[in-house]
Each structure stands twice: as C-alpha cells, then as structure tokens.
C-alpha cells in the first residue's frame, strides 16, 4: 500500500510525457508534409540567431513593456522548472525535498524560485490586464475571436494556478516544518510563502499535510496537463521558437526565392538549340506530373513555412505593423499564419483518420485565405521585421499569389494589364521600349 503514491506518480508521468511525445511526432510529421527547402547553410549565423532571438528574446524587447514582462515570465518559468526535477525524483522515490542536503544552496534556490514565482504571477496578471481590461487592439482583431482569445487567457490562468499551487505548497510545508512534523525537515527559505503561511496557522497537522500534498500533486499534474496543452495552443512557441529561429530565412528580406521549376522552362524557351517538343516529354517522364506553381494548400508550402505556422504565438505584432491592416484592409498577416496552421492540423487529422490524405474538397486558398487578403499586401516586410520569432507571413502570401497567377490566371485586371505591358513593351505602362531614353531630350 505504501507504494501506491509512487506508482500513481509514475503512471501519471509516463502518460503525460507519452501523450505529449505522441503529439509532437504528429507536429513533426505534419511539418514534413511541406516541400523541401535548403536551410542547412551558414550554421554559425543560424546558431547566433537562435541564441539572440529565441533564447535572448532580442526582438521581444523592441516593445519594452511587453518585452520585459515576457522575459520575466519566461525566465521565471524556465528556472522554476528546475524545481520540477526535484518533484519528479521525490514523486518516484517517495522522498521529500531530496535536494535539501545542498544546505545553503538549497535555501538560495528555493528562495529564488519563490521570488520568481511571485514575479511570474505579477507578470501574468499584467498580461491578462493588457488583454482583457486595457484591450490592446492587436488582441481584438477579428481573427482573435473564440478559441484564440480563450487560448491566450487559458495560458495565463494556467500559469497563475501553477504559481499559486507552488507557493501554497511551500507555505504549508513551512507550517509543517515549524510544527516539526514527521519527514518535513527544516529546509529551504521562503521569502514569499512566509506571508501565506500564517493563513494556515492553527490548522491540524493532518489538514496541513493534506494541503501540502494536495498542492504538490495538483502542481505536478498541472504541469503535465500544461505540457500536453501546448500541442493544442499557440503556446507551442515556447518549444518551436528555437528551431524556427534557427531555420529562419537568412537572405535579405527583399529577396524572394526564384522558382527553379520556372527557371528550367525559361532556360528552355530561351535556348535556341532546344527542341521544343522533345524536352518537356523527357521531363515529364522523369518527374511524372508537371510541377504545380505556387501554393493553394499547405502541402504546396515548404516545411519552413509550416514550421512558421506552428510557431506563431498569435501576438499580432505583425498585424499591428501591417500597412494594409492599419488602413482597414482584410489582410492580417497573423491570420495568414493561423489559417495555415489550422489547415495543416485539419490535413493532419485527415491523415490520422484515413491513413493517408484523402481529398476533403477544401484547401488553404479560399476556404481559409481569401484572394482579397492576398491582393492587399504591399510586400513591405513590416510583418517579417516585427515578428519576434522570425516568421515570414509574406512568403506564404507570395506563394499563394503565384498559384493564383500562374495556375489560375486569376490576377486582378489591373495587374493583368500591367503584366501584358511588361510582356509587350518591357515596362509596366504602355510605353514603347524605343522611347526609353527620350527623357534625356525632353
């Protein structure tokens, strides 16, 4: 009987971590549905980006209030998780405060965890206030209705509860230490929970133990639940920000990739020696279906773009900097990322259900992202510059425009005119190429 808590603990731990791993493997599988893109160059620059942007939060602090609050919560959360290590060992072996032999160092650690927990608590309250009381505009865009809004708040509640449980656990422990109860050895320092502890004064030893154990169990179960919540939430960014900043695009922001499939065709057309009939046939024999230009669904995007979608924190910095969005256009770069992720999940669920993807009559284009959104973009890169985790909504917009124009010939009329001008006169306006130097004589 004595080992029941240990056994229950191990079961909870294995189930919690197991389910999490199962879902992470799904994320990886879904990201791999994307096309290949080479991001293996310049590892030094990539590590530097990851260290600066993900670990160092360099882009978060561009908005100082949100940035500093975020750093507090982020550092607090990471460091407090060292405590989880002790909890896990205690849980498995039925020990209590196994690291207390560290003496003064232990006091220092527990003391710091408490202060950080308190700061995290305050930070989270301020975050909640910004979202719900001050109602910062970027948290109230149309795409933030329903689940995304609740998700943002749920995360904050989770953290409040976890921090409270941690402090209550310590406060009860402190009371028990003072009572000299059983294995509640005197260890640790409690700069914050010492103020909570008096609330429990006069409680019986039994109730105190119940309180302490209750908080301990809820705390660790809460962490396991939170871990598994990540998969369903924008909070996945706490993990994916690292690979995403590592694999981010290193090219100048203005540089759009040149489609290789198009290059092949263009070179063929320009080559006077090429046999226009023989070559395509040969190509097709090699590659089967001719390559589709641009993207109408998530599988047409590359894996880095899909990783972007899973990493998006829905912070809306991109949207709040977007000139189209600021002037009332439907386009919101955050929505582009959220739609991509939602569609990718839908495709993933489809694969889970059917073994492989079965056409569901839907796609990213139109069913999620409208052409009106796509045609509102000025390609200004403000969204890319603003994103704290190196996401490029612009690259998805451009790939979808490519599909519209090259596969569907569905450009707005004005743009079709512009393009036929370029084709015929070598300029976007209907001027004669022979008049190109007339300006020098005017």
Judged by the rule CB under 6 A, the positions of this chain that interact with ligand SF4 are 312-318, 321-324, 331, 333-334, 337, 377-383, 386-387, 389, 391, 393-394, 397
Nearest residue (CB) to ligand SF4, 193 versus 325: 325
- Of 104, 202, 272, 328, the one binding other proteins (CB under 8 A) is 328
Among the listed ranges 153-161, 164-172, 220-228, 393-401, the one in contact with other proteins (CB under 8 A) is 393-401
Nearest residue (CB) to other proteins, 30 versus 395: 395
41 makes contact with other proteins (CB under 8 A)? no
- Of 252, 276, 288, 361, the one binding other proteins (CB under 8 A) is 252
CB of residue 295 to other proteins, shortest distance in Å = 10
Tokens of 388: 């704290």
Alpha carbons 17 and 183: distance in angstroms, whole number: 29
Region of residue 409 (phi > 0: left; psi between -120 and 50: alpha; otherwise: beta): left
Nearest residue (CB) to other proteins, 201 versus 442: 442
Q: Residue 315 touches which of other proteins, ligand SF4, none (CB < 5 to 8 A by kind)?
A: ligand SF4
Length of the chain: 442
Alpha carbons 274 and 283: distance in angstroms, whole number: 13
Q: In 3D, which of 342, 310, 305 has the Cα closest to residue 146?
A: 342
Task: Name residue, tokens 């079965």.
Answer: 358
Going through 14-81 in order, the beta strands assigned E by DSSP cover: none
- DSSP codes, 249-274: --S-TT-PPPPHHHHHHHHHHH-TTS
27 makes contact with other proteins (CB under 8 A)? no
CB of residue 240 to ligand SF4, shortest distance in Å = 10
52 makes contact with other proteins (CB under 8 A)? no
Q: Residue 15 touches which of ligand SF4, other proteins, none (CB < 5 to 8 A by kind)?
A: none
Q: Residue 398 touches which of other proteins, ligand SF4, none (CB < 5 to 8 A by kind)?
A: other proteins
CB of residue 152 to ligand SF4, shortest distance in Å = 11
Question: Quick check: helix, strand or coil at residue 130?
Answer: helix
Please, are residues 340 and 365 in contact by the beta-carbon 8 Å criterion?
no
58 makes contact with other proteins (CB under 8 A)? no
Nearest residue (CB) to ligand SF4, 9 versus 375: 375
Nearest residue (CB) to other proteins, 37 versus 72: 37
Tokens of 17: 């971590």
Q: In 3D, which of 223, 15, 34, 191 has the Cα closest to residue 111?
A: 191
Residue 169 burial (C-beta neighbours within 10 Å; 0-12, 13-18, 19+): buried
Tokens of 101: 């032999």
Q: In 3D, which of 76, 91, 238 has the Cα closest to residue 160?
A: 76
90 makes contact with other proteins (CB under 8 A)? no
290 makes contact with other proteins (CB under 8 A)? no
Tokens of 148: 């995304």
Residues that bind other proteins (CB under 8 A): 251-256, 258-259, 262-263, 265-267, 269-270, 293-294, 321, 323-324, 326-331, 372, 375-382, 384-385, 398, 400-406, 411-412, 414-415, 417-419, 422-423, 426-429, 431, 433-442
């Amino acid at each position: 009987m004595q080992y029941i808590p240990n056994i229950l603990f191990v079961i909870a731990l294995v189930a919690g971590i197991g389910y999490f791993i199962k879902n992470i493997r799904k994320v990886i599988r879904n990201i791999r549905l994307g096309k290949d893109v080479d991001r293996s160059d310049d590892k030094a620059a990539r590590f530097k980006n990851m260290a600066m942007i993900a670990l160092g939060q360099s882009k978060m602090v561009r908005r100082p209030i949100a940035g500093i609050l975020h750093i507090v919560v982020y550092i607090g959360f990471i460091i407090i998780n060292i405590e989880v290590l002790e909890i896990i060992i205690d849980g498995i072996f039925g020990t209590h405060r196994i690291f207390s032999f560290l003496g003064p160092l232990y006091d220092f650690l527990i003391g710091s965890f408490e202060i950080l927990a308190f700061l995290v608590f305050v930070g989270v309250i301020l975050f909640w206030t910004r979202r719900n009381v001050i109602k910062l505009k970027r948290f109230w865009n149309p795409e933030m209705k329903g689940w995304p809004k609740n998700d943002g708040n749920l995360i904050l509640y989770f953290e409040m509860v976890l921090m409270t449980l941690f402090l209550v656990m310590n406060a009860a422990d402190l009371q028990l230490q003072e009572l000299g109860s059983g294995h509640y050895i005197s260890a640790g320092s409690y700069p914050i929970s010492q103020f909570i502890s008096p609330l429990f004064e006069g409680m019986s030893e039994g109730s105190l133990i119940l309180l302490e154990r209750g908080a301990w169990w809820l705390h660790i179960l809460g962490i396991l639940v939170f871990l598994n919540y990540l998969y369903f939430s924008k909070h996945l960014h706490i993990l994916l920000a690292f690979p995403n900043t590592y694999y981010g695009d290193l090219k100048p922001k203005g540089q759009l990739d040149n489609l290789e499939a198009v290059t092949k065709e263009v070179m063929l057309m320009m080559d006077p020696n090429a046999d226009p009939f023989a070559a395509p046939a040969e190509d097709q024999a090699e590659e089967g279906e001719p390559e589709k230009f641009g993207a109408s669904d998530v599988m047409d995007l590359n894996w880095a773009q899909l990783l972007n979608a899973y990493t998006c924190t829905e912070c809306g910095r991109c949207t709040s900097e977007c000139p189209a969005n600021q002037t009332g256009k439907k386009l919101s770069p955050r929505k582009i990322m959220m739609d991509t992720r939602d569609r990718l999940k839908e495709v993933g669920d489809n694969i889970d259900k059917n073994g492989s993807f079965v056409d569901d009559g839907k796609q990213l284009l139109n069913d999620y992202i409208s052409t009106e959104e796509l045609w509102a973009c000025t390609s200004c890169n403000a969204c890319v510059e603003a994103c704290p985790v190196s996401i490029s909504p612009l690259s998805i917009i451009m790939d979808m425009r490519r599909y519209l124009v090259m596969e569907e010939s569905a450009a707005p009329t004005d743009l079709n005119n512009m393009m036929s001008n370029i084709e015929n006169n070598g300029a976007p306006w209907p001027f004669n190429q022979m008049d190109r130097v007339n300006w020098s004589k005017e």
